[in-house]
Structure 1
Amino acid sequence: MSSERALRLIAQNPEDLPVLSAALQDAAGTLGDFQYEPKARRFTLALNRYRWEGPARGRGERVRAALQIGSVLSVRSQRLKQGARDAVVNLLALSFEPGEAPGGALILTFSGGGALRLEVECIDAALADVSRPWRAMARPGHPDASGGKAAPS
């Protein structure tokens, strides 16, 4: 198990989001671990994050992480089954569509075509590792441009 410190990141503008997106690429979780609190204007996700910054050899590590997004005005989902709390999803990317400044929409894109669209008043996101890392079952891989399997990084 790695002795590296827990990752803690914040995003307050569009330029911060690629770092959060890279840290969350291939994070897996269940829909039951997603929570929207309209009165608090907060959306929270708990995920098993692949530690891309961790060991480069072998299968790597995963760690339990929480992503909290504040100033959320509304949430819409696409191709994510409502009420399927045990459904497993894999996060591919986090992006931002600007709206009336400083607001817009945070888009969480999942494998299989699923997405969450969070309309936000402003970018207010925090990511924190909340457990010790454990050995991953496999290193995530993605098809390369030719359609084949990409070499592990």
Structure 2
Amino acid sequence: MSVDATFEDGAAKPLRLIAVDSDDLQVLSALCQDAVFPASEMQWQRGKQRFGILLNRFRWEDIPVAEQGGRKPERVQCVLAVENVLRVASQGVTPGDADTILSVLSVTFEEGDADGGAVLLTLAGDGAVRLQVSELEVALRDVTKPYAAVSGKVPDHPE
């Protein structure tokens, strides 16, 4: 017997998502669009083959609720973790620079000729981070409670 969902089932909870194929990664990419972070928040654990970033993610999923409730848009801190990382390369990014704030445009996967491929983090201002992986596994996990976006505005991308 099935049970209908209740209003309480829809309450805001921290996101915890894993992408293991390109379709999954599109969802994570949409949620990470316009996330900001200092370059010092990127870390590659070579021995564990793990690359992580602490992001201040814009809560795109909360926009309809915020607008309806008359409150400001929100951000939340989250960790974007990429597993099975063999190599890391960057362009237009100075790793470890706490004064440089970067903004995520997209997270995509490029299939390789053999097993694996590359996770590409495209950043505003022509920056990019390329993570060579043996297998695609990317996790997104909210680690703080949401807070009002400092700007009080929804990010805008004029054409």
Pair 1:141-2:156 in alignment = yes
Alignment of structure 1 residues 69-108 onto 2, 5 Å: 69-108=82-121
The structure with the largest helix share of the pair is 2
| TM-score when normalising by structure 2 | 0.85
Give deviations 1:12-47, integer Å, cap 9, x for gaps.
111211000000000000111110011110001001
Distance 1:112 1:19 in 2: 23
Identity %: 42
Structure 2: tracts of 5 or more residues without a match: 1-10
Alignment of structure 1 residues 32-47 onto 2, 5 Å: 32-47=40-55
| SS in structure 2 of the partner of residue 16 of structure 1 | helix
Alignment of structure 1 residues 112-151 onto 2, 5 Å: 112-136=125-149, 137=151, 138-144=153-159
Structure 1: tracts of 5 or more residues without a match: 145-153
The one-letter code of the counterpart of 2:140 is L
Alignment of structure 1 residues 24-63 onto 2, 5 Å: 24-56=32-64, 57=67, 59-63=72-76
| SS in structure 2 of the partner of residue 109 of structure 1 | strand
- Kept in 2, the 8 Å contact 1:102–1:123? The answer is no
| SS in structure 1 of the partner of residue 48 of structure 2 | coil
Aligned residues: 142
- Kept in 1, the 8 Å contact 2:42–2:95? The answer is no
Distance 1:109 1:91 in 2: 6
Considering only aligned residues, what root-mean-square deviation do their CA atoms show, in Å?
1.3
